[in-house]
Structures are given as structure tokens and as C-alpha cells.
Amino acid sequence: MTQARSEITLKFNELPSATLGANKKVEITLTDQNEVVFTALVNAKSWRKAEADAANFSDWGGAVSGKLGQRTADGFEVVEAGVRIFEKKSKESVAEAVTTGA
């Protein structure tokens, strides 16, 4: 039998709902296009940074990534999860950078 790692990345463009969890963690909940609910515990410090980045960037996207955990009543857990916010570059500024060699 071949061993595999079950890793998952959930992308979003608005901050998911978050509640305070145990051990300085924040529990975030995301629902995909098939109404499957994913629940992840992330570090409170990482969550505060994600909130700050989302507020500072005019156009952004985010991702929660981790290992696919146990099935729950309405979805799955994401274990060892991390959250990141990425600034989206406009197509004009990307084209400018390519033409100027920046």
C-alpha cells in the first residue's frame, strides 16, 4: 500500500468567522462550494496578523492550510493549520513590472 499525506488548502477572499479557542488559539470556520464545513484552530497571533494584513491591503486573498483531520458531523477538521493573507497585485502593475524588468 502506498502512503500519502492528506494536506488541504482552503482559499478565501473574506475573513472567515472566528471564535476564541483554548490554549491561545482561534477557531475559524470555512464552508466550501459544496456546503462542507472546515474547522481549524490557528494561533491567535497568526490570526491577529491575518486580520491586520486584510485591513492594510486594498485587494487580498487568504488561505488556511494544514492536514485533513477527522470527519465531523458537517465537515472536517483541519489540524496543524496556519493562515496567510496575500496582497493581490493589479494586472496593470504586474504588466508594468514585467516590461520594466522590476
Residue 66: burial class (beta carbons within 10 Å; 0-12, 13-18, 19+)? buried
Residue 100 in this model has a pLDDT that exceeds 80: no
Q: Which three cell numbers stand for residue 48?
A: 491577529
Q: Is residue 96 part of a domain?
A: yes
pLDDT, position 99: 65
CATH of the domain at 51: 2.40.50
pLDDT, position 19: 93
pLDDT tens for each residue of 42-91: 999 999 999 999 999 989 999 999 999 999 998 999 999 999 999 988 77
CA 70, 3, 35: angle at the middle one, nearest 5?
A: 35
Q: Is residue 1 part of a domain?
A: no
Q: What is the pTM of this model?
A: 0.80
Q: Is residue 2 part of a domain?
A: no
pLDDT, position 7: 93
Q: How many domains are contained in the chain?
A: 1
pLDDT, position 6: 87
Residue 31: which domain range? 7-100
pLDDT tens for each residue of 21-35: 888 899 999 999 999
